[in-house]
Amino acid sequence: MPQPVDPRILGYVVIGGAFGVLARALLLLPVGDPAAVPWATLGVNAAGSFLLGILVRALDDRRPRVRAFLGTGVLGGFTTYSAFAVETALWLTSPWQAIGLAAASLAAGVAGAVAGLLAGRITGGTRRGAVDPEDAE
Q: Extract the annotated binding site for Na(+).
A: 76, 79
What residues form the annotated binding site?
76, 79
What distances in angstroms separate CA 76 from CA 23, 24, 67, 109, one per listed residue? Answer: 11, 11, 11, 13
Q: What are phi and psi of 20, to 5 degrees?
A: -65, -45
Other Cβ atoms closer than 10 A to 24: 21
Other Cβ atoms closer than 10 A to 110: 13
DSSP 8-state class, residue 133 = T
Kindly calculate the radius of gyration of the chain based on its CA atoms and give it in whole angstroms. 17
What distances in angstroms separate CA 131 from CA 88, 121, 137, one per listed residue? Answer: 44, 19, 11
